[in-house]
């Protein structure tokens, strides 16, 4: 149940990143899917609780499992896809986790054979992703002295199609 809920939260954040980029005109250098992955992962990791960190770890594990399944079934690697390769996405998430908390996620990095030299360079990747997103979103955030926006929600009976 936690895996499914976590996966849905990751997908929600990933898709929200696409919406934020489109609505706010945020520039993206590189693939949009990579930016959306980084947005979702860094937001979850930054929450700093066991569940949010587990969501990122489970996402990585899911891509490792997808890779094994694709190899087993003879599925061709879609080099032309808008998303990165499953193994690239998985290793990037492990990299972010290691950079956030090396003691906690070193065993995961070792399990997926992320080389030691790469584990050491992960901090730069995580910090770049986090700082880039923060600086791009900063002009769109509500200032502390600004009034909060009130959003009224009215519920009604659904009818028709």
Q: d(Cα 1, Cα 20) in Å, to the nearest integer?
A: 28
Share above pLDDT 90 across residues of the chain, in percent, rounded to a whole number: 62
**Reported confidence tier of residue 156, pLDDT bands at 50, 70, 90:** confident
Q: What is the mean pLDDT of residues 12-31?
A: 93
- Domain boundary assignment for the chain: 2-140
- Our CA angle for 51, 120, 40, nearest 5°, is 35
How far does CA 43 lie from the centroid of its chain?
Answer: 7
Prediction pTM value: 0.82
pLDDT in tens, 82-113: 888 999 999 999 999 999 988 999 999 999 99
The pLDDT score that the predictor gives to residue 108 is 92
């Amino acid at each position: 149940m936690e895996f499914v809920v976590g996966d849905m939260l990751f997908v929600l954040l990933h898709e929200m990143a696409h919406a934020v980029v489109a609505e706010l005109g945020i520039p993206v250098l590189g693939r949009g899917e990579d930016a959306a992955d980084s947005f979702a992962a860094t937001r979850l990791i930054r929450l700093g609780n066991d569940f949010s960190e587990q969501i990122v770890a489970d996402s990585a594990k899911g891509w490792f499992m997808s890779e094994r399944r694709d190899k087993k079934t003879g599925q061709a690697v879609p080099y032309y896809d808008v998303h990165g390769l499953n193994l690239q996405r998985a290793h990037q998430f492990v990299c972010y986790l290691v950079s956030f908390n090396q003691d906690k996620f070193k065993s995961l990095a070792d399990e997926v054979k992320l080389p030691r030299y790469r584990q050491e360079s992960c901090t730069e990747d995580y910090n770049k992703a986090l700082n880039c997103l923060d600086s791009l979103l900063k002009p769109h955030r509500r200032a502390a002295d600004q009034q909060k926006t009130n959003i009224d929600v009215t519920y009604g009976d659904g009818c028709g199609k």
